[in-house]
Structure 1
Amino acid sequence: MNNVNTLFSSLWQDYITRLSPSADQVHQLLSSGGDIVNDHIALRTFNLPKVGLSTLAAPFLAIGYKPCDEYEFIAKKLKAQHFEHPDPNAPLVFISELLVEKLSDDAQTIIKSLVEQVPAHYFATRDFLSSGRPWSLSFDQYKVLAKESEYASWLAAHGYGANHFTVYVNQLDGFDEVVDVNQHLRNAGFSINEVGGEVKGSPEVCLEQSSTMADKVIVKFSDGEFEIPGGFYEFAKRYELPNGELYKGFVAASADKIFESTDG
């Protein structure tokens, strides 16, 4: 687990420093002095050569992760896959990629120009997973992408890093239900993603999820600094399958609504 711990520690530091500074406060509000178990992280990319899903998966495969279920989000023009480690204590990894060919010519041109700026050797070490944006982007380009795809504009602006970490509610002290976590955070002034209901999923699909709305963070563009949505914190409760094993996958209908946490 040393390699796993080292990689996730690097991702966590980038996440709370650059993408979701409030996550550290959420962590303190829920921890009661104990450890918080991370259920999974999510990463975003474009489905272009050099930067596609397989590129982001490679560092995880190198430390023992195995590819599992695949998912499709037609309305958001995304495909995704999750990965599991043989050690049940290791977090799950959810990687999605934007189907660039489904976007307008203008959006495709911008995205391809971004990816062309990245040298192939940039992905030679796993450090790129928490490296931020490896290309130059103007705020005007960001706005063009945002009109068409929030996912595209978020990725273009922030580059590589954990879009979110996820509190594993099953292991929390003092909280048994996702709805109770939500209320505790509301009481502390946090906004909860209400799209599709404050709790996505149900015991019937063996997974319940919720999330805060993304932090607003200052990002430097080629033509100035602007405040845009960053990362968010998710909460997940898993239920047993009929065979008695805990469900380890994801529910596409719920994940689709979780993506809305970075709207704004």
Structure 2
Amino acid sequence: MQQQQIFDALWHQYLKVTPSAQAIHQLLGHGHEIINDHIALRTLNLPGMGEAVLGQHFIDAGFKQADAYHFESKKLRAHYYLHPDPKVPKVFISELCVDLLSEQTQALLAKLLQNFDVKCLSEPSVLWSGRAWEISFTDYQALLNESEYAAWFAAWGYRANHFTVNVNQLPNFDSLEQVNTALKAAGYQLNVGGGEIKGSPEVLLEQSATLADEARISFSDAEHEIPSCFYEFARRYPNDSGKLYQGFVAASADQIFSSTNAR
């Protein structure tokens, strides 16, 4: 499957639970095209479900696996995937190290996924397949007690948890500070963990993000509104060779994950 087909399908799915993204396009774009810097996907490091399984679909579409990242406090590992065409968005895929969670949480995840056929992950369409298992709100809350990431993935399944505006390509903004000011003036709440702007020109990347939209979701025992997906904003700076830095900053990404936290 071609990379543009994948991104289009992920974007369509993303908008269904993140309506703010379309409004933010209008706010920042003023009729101009918004360029996407990267997307992010989540999974678990269970057999047949790991980050490399999802990443293979992007390798098949011409990407190469790039740097690895570790987030010890959140028990996460990640890689990003880079396409040789710099105009193609990057892909950041993380996985939760289930083996580092408590026995109770491991057992709960095993129960949820006991009838999930991992063979479906061999098809690119799994990337936007959503949740393929039943979960109760009680179990969702139990997962929240240990891992926001586990709870989010158990509730939402496979989808892009964020898209990212390429601030370098915005025609009417000269800085990430200006973007944030426009967002706040329009009433959007930003993720302020680690500062409103994560990173700096010194590390060649600045990032900010909205807090996730709230979307209604059906659990097996009730319907509830919970955090869905968010929008990120990234400004990149040139490295010593004069080319824009294409990687990520672990300390900043660690804070960005919290944009989907329950509140």
TM-score (normalised: structure 1): 0.97
The Cα of 1:90 is off from its aligned counterpart by 0.5
Contact persistence 2:48–2:119 (CA under 8 A)? no
Give the structure 2 partner of residue 24 of structure 1. Answer: 22
- Partner deviation per Cα, 1:192-219 (whole Å, 9 max, x = no partner): 1111110000000000000000001111
Give the structure 2 partner of residue 4 of structure 1. Answer: 3
Residue correspondence of structure 1 range 251-262 to structure 2 within 5 A: 251-262=249-260
CA distance in 1, matches of 2:66, 2:113: 27
Contact persistence 1:46–1:53 (CA under 8 A)? yes
Give the structure 2 partner of residue 95 of structure 1. Answer: 93
Extract unaligned runs of 5+ from structure 2: none
Query: RMSD value over aligned CA atoms?
Result: 1.0
What is the SS of the residue equivalent to 1:116? coil
Give the structure 2 partner of residue 13 of structure 1. Answer: 12
Give the structure 1 partner of residue 63 of structure 2. Answer: 65
Amino acid corresponding to residue 231 of structure 1 in structure 2: C
Between 1:238-247 and 1:157-166, the stretch displaced more is: 238-247
- Partner deviation per Cα, 1:148-192 (whole Å, 9 max, x = no partner): 110010000000000000000000011111111111011111001
Within the candidate set 154, 162, 170, 1:164 is matched to 162
Give the structure 2 partner of residue 226 of structure 1. Answer: 224
Give the structure 1 partner of residue 46 of structure 2. Answer: 48
Between 1:157-166 and 1:176-185, the stretch displaced more is: 176-185
The Cα of 1:68 is off from its aligned counterpart by 0.3
Contact persistence 1:64–1:85 (CA under 8 A)? yes
Residue correspondence of structure 1 range 139-150 to structure 2 within 5 A: 139-150=137-148
Contact persistence 2:34–2:170 (CA under 8 A)? yes
Residue correspondence of structure 1 range 96-111 to structure 2 within 5 A: 96-111=94-109
Amino acid corresponding to residue 15 of structure 1 in structure 2: Y
Within the candidate set 126, 135, 143, 1:128 is matched to 126
The Cα of 1:114 is off from its aligned counterpart by 2.5
Contact persistence 1:231–1:262 (CA under 8 A)? yes
Residue correspondence of structure 1 range 228-247 to structure 2 within 5 A: 228-247=226-245
Extract unaligned runs of 5+ from structure 1: none
Within the candidate set 28, 31, 34, 1:33 is matched to 31
- Partner deviation per Cα, 1:111-147 (whole Å, 9 max, x = no partner): 1222332113322321111111011111111000001
Give the structure 1 partner of residue 135 of structure 2. Answer: 137
The Cα of 1:259 is off from its aligned counterpart by 0.8
Percent identical pairs in the alignment equals 51
TM-score (normalised: structure 2): 0.97
Residue correspondence of structure 1 range 204-215 to structure 2 within 5 A: 204-215=202-213
Contact persistence 1:41–1:162 (CA under 8 A)? yes
Q: Number of aligned pairs?
A: 262
